[in-house]
Amino acid sequence: MKYQSNIWLTRLSKLTVFSTLFLIFVGALVKSHEVGLSVPDWPTTYGKQMFAFPLSEMVGGIFYEHGHRVLATIIGFFTLLQAIWIGFSNVPFWLKRLGLLALGVVVLQGIFGGITVLFYLPPAVSMIHGILAQTFFIITIIIAYSLSNERNKREEMGYNKNIKKGSLFLISFVYFQLILGALMRHTASGLAIPDFPTMGGLWFPTFSESMINNINVELFDMDWGMVSKNQVIIHFMHRLGALIVSAFIGYFFYKNNSVINKNKTLNKTKWLIIIVLVIQVILGALTILTEKAPYVASFHVVNGAALLGLSILLVLRSHPIQFSKWIK
């Protein structure tokens, strides 16, 4: 269904997408620097209203944590403005509901962010906070694409079922991999296997007591804390997930290359996904080799979100989804 979209509303939706991606990076910096409790109260900042907190006092961990809160609040305002604007616009009813859904998710995200502080960063709540961020990012992309000129100038393409199913599988694999990444980060498993590309000195991990002991000896020499077998397994699952995602992307594009190459937009999206995937693998390796250098680890997180976003874009560009069938 085609409809007239306001150019400024479209720009707002795109601003919300890129601001959210940047927010994911800032949130990753908070975790990478382990400064989530640098501001111990919420929703105030050391007893002051958030925007009244002096810039001169934003030092050390407070800079990252308070900056994260300020940016999240601004994006929440963008989402509120977007929902109201869409509500009064000449767009399909399902898109208006999607705008409200985005608003609900960003409010929920803010609440979980507050809970993580008030309850001293419980891993389960922190994970939900991170997963909600990725989910909100997906919704913002769908809204922005639905309002874009590209979406309104074209009808659904008649690609074969392999592309439609494959692109949906791609989203599922990447989304699950990001969940594994969140689990790894919030269970202190980021260096549970401190060597790369080997694992505990082995190419094929055994998870034996000998392997765990070898890992802990290496971590002790690196002045890092000891890890358990469960942490090692969690870390391994994330590496295995990266291998599965990479293999699937390679297979999917190889199998459907001739069809995708016929469309310039899809071909561009394909190459963007491949480039971001290569960067992601490199960043994953560097995260380990640099012993989780904060900015390297954070770029790894945000690049993973970018890969998810491009996967969503691939689906929307190959066969725009009729969300009205799902949301009515």
Q: Which of 238, 310, 219 is nearest to 281 (CA)?
A: 238
Neighbours of 213 (CB within 10 A): 12
Per-residue model confidence (pLDDT) at position 324 = 46
Burial of 143 (0-12, 13-18, 19+ CB in 10 A): buried
* Residue with tokens 């961990």, as numbered in its chain: 61
pLDDT for residue 200 is more than 90: no
pLDDT tens per residue, range 97-154:
999 999 999 999 999 999 999 998 999 999 999 999 999 999 999 999 999 888 766 5
Q: Is the pLDDT of residue 158 over 80?
A: no
Range from 9-13, 29-33, 201-205 carrying the lowest mean pLDDT: 201-205
Q: How many residues does the chain have?
A: 328
- What average pLDDT does this structure show over 171-177? 95
Whether pLDDT at 213 is above 50: yes
The arithmetic mean of pLDDT across residues 26-39, rounded, is 94
Of the candidates 320, 8, 311, the one whose C-alpha atom is nearest the C-alpha of residue 153 is 320
Closest CA to 130 of 13, 61, 31, 16: 31
